[in-house]
Amino acid sequence: MEASAVTAAGNGRTGRWRQRLVPAAFLLPALIFLGVWIVYPTVRTVIRSFFDRNGSGFVWLDNYKTIFTTDTLRTALKNNALWVAVVPALVTAIGLVFAVLTERVRWSTAFKTAVFMPMAISLFAAGVIWHLMDDKDPGKGTVNASIKAVKGAFGSSGVLTQGQGSTPQLVGSTKTGFVLRTPLRPGATALLGLTAIPPAAVPKGAKQAVAAAPRSGAITGTVWRDFRPGGGRPGRVEPGEIGIPGATVELRDSAGKAVATTTAGADGSFAFGGAKPGIYHAAISKKTFEPPFGGVSWLGPKLITPAVMIAYIWVWAGFAMVVIAAGLSAISREVLEAARTDGATEWQVFRRVTVPLLAPVLSVVFITMIINVLKVFDIILSVAPQSSQDDANVIALAMWRTSFGGVNDFGLGSAIAVLLFVLVVPALLLNIRRFRREE
């Protein structure tokens, strides 16, 4: 009996050891990789952050002081704070709106596929796409081309880019317009000659200028390029001189207020009919010299951060929409219908029923986006040109540029990496806490 008991006890201990060794054997490769690729680099980075550029001198907290005293690195901290304050909330809100609006439409699958599609490409590739789209030249950049099309629908640019009065009576500039100082009464004629206009800058369709004939009860005139090869007399319309079609001409009263506006014809002639008795002045409006839309400098120092944020939101809005849509599909439709039956409007149902029920999903998306924007790097590197990378700088990009971008200061780079790790840890803990609550 005693031998049997000893044998049974030995078998029990062997069984327990076997139960422990089998999982350990499967976990060992993963633990080795975690130790080699995560634990060791993390510990080594923390230690390296207390040493100088070459790693030979112990500098204690000097690298961390540098982070908060260098202008470029402080800009990175400010930009990261702006990213955390704006992007997670916008991505979550856009995903929520898309998920709710597409819930009842037949083509929701196609729409969700189109919105989610940017997730199929890398952030670097998405950055390259938006770098091209944000090009300042409206002929190259899609964004500025769209703005130009909208502006063209509500207005147009001037027909000239430069010019000056050909006589002392026509005073002004291209920024303010040109005013003829000679007073005019109904039946008078105004001659508005311009010079310093290159032949290539003359509007298309221009014809030989014609001196407008006087008309009773009207003020007529001509806007023309007062220049004739081989010479000529300023202030007179002569053969070989062409009109300026499309020039905007104003008729101003004695107080300088525009009372009528017209456009010059192909031969430069114009007329203001039905003028009341009084003294007037003719003027070439500054609209004639309004430059064409040259594009918004999205990649410039002032707008580069919003431009990168838009590109990032474009990529991640699909992720938020899909996750929130999954949570929305799990909500009981009876609760929503009960709210509608009680007289709640769609907005009240959305605000007081749908959003509270989606709170766990929204919090997961929001926290996940906080972690992502703290680590944002490659999309900034690909969108921002070299000239504006300092203005778009963030912590992860500053770490890479300091360590591997030519500075080669691995001590300061390690300190920036440690700071980034410390900033990410609270968000990770929030996510872990959320997951444990759901269990």
pLDDT tens digits along 259-287: 999 999 999 999 998 888 899 999 999 99
Per DSSP (E only), the strands in 216-337 are 219-225, 248-252, 258-263, 269-272, 281-284
Give, as one character, the DSSP assignment of residue 293: P
pLDDT of 15 reads 64
Say which residues have a Cβ less than 8 Å from residue 422's Cβ, sequence separation at least 6.
none
Angle, vertex CA 22, rays to CA 20 and CA 23, nearest 5 = 75
Nearest alpha-carbon partner for 387 in 296, 297, 301, 295? 301
pLDDT of residue 405: 82
Distance CA 32, CA 416 (A): 27
* Sheet hosting strand 189-195, strand order edge to edge: 164-165, 189-195, 219-225, 269-272
- Residue 184: the pLDDT is 93
Sheet holding 258-263, edge to edge: 170-173, 177-180, 281-284, 248-252, 258-263
The predicted pLDDT at position 2 comes to 53
pLDDT over threshold 60, residue 215: yes
- Look up the pTM and report it: 0.78
Give CA 13 to chain center in angstroms: 66
105 pLDDT more than 60: yes
Measured N-to-C along each axis, helices 71-101 and 62-69 cross at an angle, to the nearest 10 degrees, of 70
Letter string b/e over residues 354-391, b meaning 16 or more CB atoms within 10 A of that residue's CB: beebbeebbebbbbbbbbbbbebbbbbbbbbeeebbbb
Residue 141: how many CB atoms within 10 A of its CB?
A: 22
- pLDDT exceeds 90 at position 391: yes
The tally of CA atoms less than 13 A away on the side-chain side of residue 280 is: 28
Q: What percent of the chain has pLDDT over 70?
A: 95
Mean predicted confidence (pLDDT) in 148-161: 79
For residue 433 the two structure tokens come to: 């806490």
Of the given ranges (4-13, 30-39, 160-169), which has the lowest mean pLDDT?
Answer: 4-13
pLDDT score for 6: 47
Instruction: Kindly give the pairing relationship between strand 269-272 and strand 170-173.
Output: unpaired
